[in-house]
Amino acid sequence: MATYPRLPVFSPPRNVSELFDIVFRWSNELSRELDTRDVKEESRPSTNIYTVTTVTEIGRPRAGDVAYSTSSSIFRGYTTTAAGWVDFN
């Protein structure tokens, strides 16, 4: 679970300019935390699981996708190598 920055509560701002500075620094820190989380989330591999008659029905498979071919009763996994779809069993 991410820990996001909180607004400081140590003392009230003396004027609008000081309040703006506090909120501006806080929003920059929050944006940095969210950007870091986005990069981490986007770099995680995702796997889709399909049930299809043949794997050719899947238009653009990605590495790690899994398909169950009902015509041949075989599970297949997609790789980025020249092999493409590889039988599991």
What is the number of domains present in the chain?
A: 2
Query: Is 23 contained in some domain?
Result: yes
pLDDT in tens, 7-54: 777 778 889 999 999 899 999 999 999 998 888 877 776 678 889 998
Query: Is 62 contained in some domain?
Result: yes
On whether both 55 and 34 belong to a single domain, the answer is no
Closest by CA position to 49, among listed 9, 16, 4, 88 = 88
- Domain of 35, in residue numbers: 8-44
Distance CA 78, CA 89 (A): 14
Q: Where do the DSSP E strands lie in 1-89?
A: 49-52, 66-69, 74-78, 85-87
On whether both 56 and 80 belong to a single domain, the answer is yes
Task: Please answer whether residues 62 and 46 qualify as being in contact, where contact means their C-beta atoms are separated by less than 8 angstroms.
Answer: yes
| 66 — pLDDT class (breaks 50, 70, 90) | very high
On whether both 13 and 40 belong to a single domain, the answer is yes
Distance CA 26, CA 35 (A): 14
| 1 — pLDDT class (breaks 50, 70, 90) | low
On whether both 39 and 57 belong to a single domain, the answer is no
Mean pLDDT across 79-89: 83
Does the predicted TM-score (pTM) go above 0.75?
no
